[in-house]
Amino acid sequence: MIYLDHAATTPVPRAVAEEMFRVLTEDYGNPSSQYAYGRRAKGLVEDCRETVAQALGCEAARLFFTSCGTESDNWAFTAALWQNRRVGRHIVTTAVEHSAVLERCRWLEQDGYEITRILPDRDGNIPAEKVLEAVRPDTALVSVMLVNNETGNIYPISEIAAGLGAKNEKTLLHTDAVQGFLKVPFSAKTLGADFIALSAHKIGGPKGIGALYIGGRVRGPRALLPGGGQESGFRAGTEATAQIAGFAKATALRMENFAENLRHMAEIKAYAVERLGEISDLRFVARGTAPHVLSVSMPGYPSQNVVNELSEAGICISAGSACHQGKPSQVTAALGLEKRVAAGVVRLSFGPETTKKEIDAAADALRLHHDTRFPML
């Protein structure tokens, strides 16, 4: 199998799986238990928190484990809107966010919130000025992702953070950094966001574990889950120690070769652009600068048909975000692409393991599909 869908999820290295197995079979104590075995598990959780926090560039006390990036995004909204409940009921976001953010905004509209959704330009870019222009005295929250999961565009979070101080110092800033963590260089300190959402399974960790950074401007964040007092009393529930250990191990592995991983993925992406550019009529969609995501379109060839045919050949690519489950993508819609182009968009995404040989196989398969199938749209 050739796997070119690392933006959907990533393969788990053996070292990560082995660390999780060790914790499941040896360090399975409840971190809330007061005897030595429980304290040992608690120490493991805190060591893992420190590992992920160091990679993010923040204090460990400001990093909280969650079940996934979606939960982290939703908790950020809960905390921000509670703190700014007297500021107003206006939210600024973009039309190309992950479904976790867009769906939460739709829910909030039903509760009387006003949502301003910023459209990207045809290249997928969203300037900081465009976001800041939409901020008003009653804006409680700005939510802009760091890296778009379908186009690879990197958004100017640090510029937005700096501009918010002058526009409305009470407005809080959230960024979904699930596609950016350990894939583009940044740190919590330089980014300047009040909330940063992460997910382990995008960097070689297990599914079912994520994290949320909560910055110093957030005053005693609104608890997500009341209960037994875990995660400093803000998210109750027995800690998923094995998943947390897997998250930390994956983080450590990525950090060991961080610069080399970025260089390799950028090289692979450049090679993919070269090879795919040989296919007549193929269009590149919003060439974002993140090194691991590349979207293209074969106008007139329905993307799901292309995905299915490549799957039969043992090649995994996607028709936009995996979270859409076959539904049209809000990202391609927001880009204002022609109907035939939008319907043919597929995404290739890469990891440190991706090889040029795999790119060759995908390019050959796409060329074959193009040469032997008649457009249907």
Following CA atoms 273, 275, 280, 282 in sequence, which dihedral angle do they give, to the nearest 10 degrees?
Answer: -30
- Rounded to two decimals, the pTM is 0.95
Question: How is residue 139 written in tokens?
Answer: 């804006």
CA–CA dist 245, 290 (Å, integer): 27
Q: 3-state class of 90 per DSSP?
A: strand
Percent of the chain with pLDDT over 90: 86
| Mean pLDDT of the region 13-37 | 95
Tens of pLDDT, residues 207-265: 999 999 999 999 988 888 889 889 988 999 999 999 999 999 999 999 999 999 999 99
Q: What is the pLDDT of residue 322?
A: 44
Where does 2-10+258-372 sit in CATH, by number? 3.90.1150.10
Q: What is the pLDDT of residue 374?
A: 54
Q: What is the pLDDT of residue 376?
A: 59
Question: How is residue 337 written in tokens?
Answer: 């692409």
Cα separations in angstroms, 23 against 40, 275, 298, 369:
11, 44, 46, 46
Is the four-CA dihedral 315, 321, 324, 326 of positive or negative sign? negative
Phi (first) and psi of residue 228, to 5 degrees:
-80, 0
Domain map (residue ranges) of the chain: 2-10+258-372, 14-255
Q: Would residue 105 show up in a list of annotated catalytic residues for this protein? A: no
Q: 3-state class of 296 per DSSP?
A: strand
Nearest residue to 176 via CA among 7, 18, 3 = 7
Tens of pLDDT, residues 88-133: 999 999 999 999 999 999 999 999 999 999 999 999 999 999 999 9
Question: Residue 330: which pLDDT band, with cuts at 50, 70 and 90?
Answer: confident
What CATH class has 14-255? alpha beta
Tens of pLDDT, residues 180-214: 999 999 999 999 999 999 999 999 999 999 999 99
Strands (E), 85-207: 90-94, 114-118, 139-143, 172-176, 195-199
